Amino acid sequence: MFVLQSSDKSTKARTGILKTAHGEIPTPVFMPVGTVGTVKGIMQRDLKDDIGAKIILGNTYHLYLRPGTEIVKKAGGLHNFISWHGPMLTDSGGFQVFSLAGNRKLTEEGAIFRSHIDGSRHIFTPENTIDIQRIFGADIIMAFDECAPFPCDYKYARKSMELTHKWLDRAVARFRETEPVWDYPQYLFPIVQGSTFGDLRKQSAEKIASVSMEGNAIGGLSVGEPEEEMYRMLEIVNDILPDDKPRYLMGVGTPVNILEAIERGVDMFDCVMPTRNGRNGMLFTGQGTVNIRNRKWIDDFSPIDPDGPSSVSLNYSKAYLRHLIISGEILGAQLASIHNLAFYIKLVTDARKNIESGNFKKWKDGMIKKLSDRL
RNA sequence: GGGGAGAUACCAAAGUGGCCAACUGGGGCAGACUGUAAAUCUGCUGGGAAUUCCCUUCGUAGGUUCGAAUCCUGCUCUCCCCA
């Protein structure tokens, strides 16, 4: 399922190909987030053609609540329902249980929570989140975990990690004893936890590696801890997670975070930043980040980004995009999202090229310098 | 021509003797956003020194008062109704 292609000499960065029933994914890869079955504001056609997305995410929590598992099943699975025929990954809902903190109750059995839509009570367990994700039919599905908050004390972090590990065994058991609902294989990724404690991270990575799934994920990071802590955890975890399986760093991050993580051996990323921040007027460009709402862009008729990660970046001006965003126009959110997503995808694509050509370290250092600028 | 209402900071609009440099909304300016309950949220928005300070402001010119955006008088302007 995963083929390692090349490795950087001076760092742990590498390239590979992730093979799924819906297509092959060159890594490193960035996966746009499509929580409720849509990458907000973006048509599937643009996602594929202009942005060049290779795989997108959906979310079990949101889709289970609305439209509901039965509807997705009736539609013939998530791919058919949302008219995206490339690879997909669904998150298990563990993060939602964490972010809906006020409304949840964790037990050994699973997480009891209330719907943010109508207040109704529901339970997620390691087993039913596998069942639901079998029905949704994403190519890659995630184990149900607990994402510990930051900061959290050692005792809580350990308990939370142990619960996640127990849940993992049950999820793997259910995964193994069930068949795909649709006629192609799915892969289950377990998730490393352990907060910012090195020994817990090590222990968790060993556990996760021991279940020998087709790929492994690293969760519970970029939840408020200092970036240096995140990098330190990545180094510990990636030393243990097998090299011949893809490593997925969940929810990360800024362009700089992504480059630092690639350097440490991470292959897959997802983050809401390019879309959410884009809607709110923040652009990522090859020259640095831009707050397009700032007055200084009012008469800047130059392209959004002359590096042109997408046609949108070249064909629309900063002044026009500023006008659209400030006016609250839908098109503004769409253009900013398309540009930012294309930027992210070009970033990881360029990383891949530079790893292949043996120039990664030098290229990365130069990029980080540029990315840190605020225009 | 007669009668009535009103003029408050960029706009709209509260405030009708001290707690008012003046509620609130909009606009403007800036910031935040990391497995999306987010086209959302936060701060600032008279000037200056820049933790409890000073100065100039509520159409305009005077007056009353210890003290006025708030009370009185003149003036200017706006709006509404009836002829």
Q: Assess whether A169 carries a catalytic annotation.
A: no
**Residue at the smallest CA–C1' distance to nucleotide B30:** A294
The pLDDT of residue A101 is 55
Query: Which nt has its C1' nearest the CA of A279?
Result: B39
- Mean pLDDT on A224-234: 96
Query: Which nt has its C1' nearest the CA of A115?
Result: B37
Q: Give A104's pLDDT tier (boundaries 50, 70, 90).
A: confident
Upper half-sphere CA count for residue A131 (Cβ side, 13 Å): 8
Which nucleotides in chain B lie less than 7 Å from some protein C-beta?
28-41
- Mean pLDDT on A338-365: 97
**SS3 for A218?**
strand
pLDDT in tens, A180-216: 999 999 999 999 999 999 999 999 999 999 999 999 9
Å separating the CA of residue A296 from the C1' of nucleotide B54: 34
Å separating the CA of residue A106 from the C1' of nucleotide B83: 80
Query: Which nt has its C1' nearest the CA of A100?
Result: B37
Q: Assess whether A305 carries a catalytic annotation.
A: no
pLDDT in tens, A20-74: 999 999 999 999 999 999 999 999 999 999 999 999 999 999 999 999 999 999 9
C-alpha closest to that of A333 among A40, A31, A44, A46? A40
The answer to whether A130 and A171 are in contact (CB under 8 A) is yes
Peptide bond into A86 cis (omega under 30): no
**SS3 for A72?**
helix
Residue A48: Cβ within 10 Å count:
16
**Residue at the smallest CA–C1' distance to nucleotide B40:** A280
Write down the pTM of the prediction: 0.94
Q: Which two three-digit tokens encode residue A100? A: 């809906």
Q: Give A98's pLDDT tier (boundaries 50, 70, 90).
A: confident
